[in-house]
């Protein structure tokens, strides 16, 4: 008897410095290619995954989400074990959950949280691959004032790397933009209903320029209002950026609870956000 195909929601972490970005590319070592390669080994056929969004080469993740459809008789814990036994050490699938067929990792997101790590001065070889070492002193109070200007619902076209005429709506609600300092590490935490292409790295780049006292806070407001990208908006390097969490509206999809040793999942309680 043919087992009904199930939609699986997965949360993964990865060291982006080992890969050419998330999205599959011809002749490239991408995260999508590697994960799909493992799924081919598990299921004996091509299984496409759909991520919550693309991360660029060098960008890391603590909580990227993807989904795929496949027939699996053994429960999520054994599927998780199959991932662990076959993926490279730079990728960790943290959780696997059966969800309703209406769930989509990308189209049903309600927000994302990113973290960018800045290191004040030189960093050791174990820290350097995961931060932006900045050697000039930073005025953190000025950076926080600039962050307050940027926080809120705005048109962030000036803070995206989109080129040419673009139909995408560039208005986003930046619900949180916060700087936290501990020792020589400065963490920039951002949370929004969505992020434009290279928006987070552009926001951090401007904050650092403000911190170096090369750009007054008042001019940040002007750049934001202009909706035009200028050379004043630098893009922070990718290795300091982490996708921390993807949010979903609980009402938009149903989780499926697995009965012990059941071949086919049954409907259960709603899934919580990952």
Catalytic one among 56, 69, 102, 122?
56
- Would you call 102 a catalytic residue per the annotation? no
Helix-then-strand count for the chain, H and E = 5, 12
Per-residue DSSP letters for the chain? -PPPPEEEEEEEEE-GGGSS-SS--TT---HHHHHHHHHHHHHSS----EESS---TT-EEEEEEEEEEE--SS-HHHHHHHHHHHS-TTEEEEEEEEE-TT--TTTTEEEEEEEEEEEES---TTTGGGSEEE-S---HHHHHHHHHHH-EEEE-GGG----SS--S--EEEEEEEEEEEETTEEEEEEEES---TTHHHHHHHHHHHHHTTSS-HHHHHHHHHHT---TTSPPPPGGGEEEEEEEE-GGG--BEEPPTT-SS-EE-SPPPP-
Catalogue the active-site residues: 56
């Amino acid at each position: 008897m043919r087992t009904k195909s199930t939609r699986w929601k997965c949360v993964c972490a990865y060291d982006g410095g080992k890969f050419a970005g998330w999205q599959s590319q011809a002749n490239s070592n991408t995260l999508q290619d590697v994960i799909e390669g493992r799924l081919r080994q598990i299921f004996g056929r091509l299984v496409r995954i759909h991520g919550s969004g693309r991360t660029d080469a060098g960008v890391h993740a603590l909580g990227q989400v993807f989904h795929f459809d496949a027939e699996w008789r053994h429960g999520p814990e054994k599927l998780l074990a199959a991932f662990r036994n076959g993926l490279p050490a730079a990728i960790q699938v943290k959780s696997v959950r059966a969800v309703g067929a209406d769930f989509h990792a990308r189209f049903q997101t309600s927000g994302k949280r990113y973290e960018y790590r800045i290191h004040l001065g030189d960093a050791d070889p174990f820290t350097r691959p995961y931060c932006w070492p900045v050697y000039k002193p930073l005025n953190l109070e000025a950076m926080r004032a600039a962050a307050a200007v940027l926080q809120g619902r705005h048109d962030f076209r000036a803070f995206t790397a989109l080129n040419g005429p673009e139909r995408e709506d560039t208005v986003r609600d930046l619900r949180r933009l916060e700087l936290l300092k501990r020792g020589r590490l400065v963490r920039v935490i951002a949370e929004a209903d969505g992020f434009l292409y290279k928006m987070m790295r552009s926001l951090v780049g401007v904050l650092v320029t403000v911190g170096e006292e090369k750009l007054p806070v008042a001019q940040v407001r002007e750049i934001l209002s202009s909706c035009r990208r200028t050379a004043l908006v630098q893009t922070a390097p990718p290795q300091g950026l982490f996708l921390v969490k993807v949010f979903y509206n609980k009402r938009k999809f149903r989780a499926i609870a697995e009965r012990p040793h059941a071949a086919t999942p049954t409907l259960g309680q709603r899934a919580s956000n990952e």
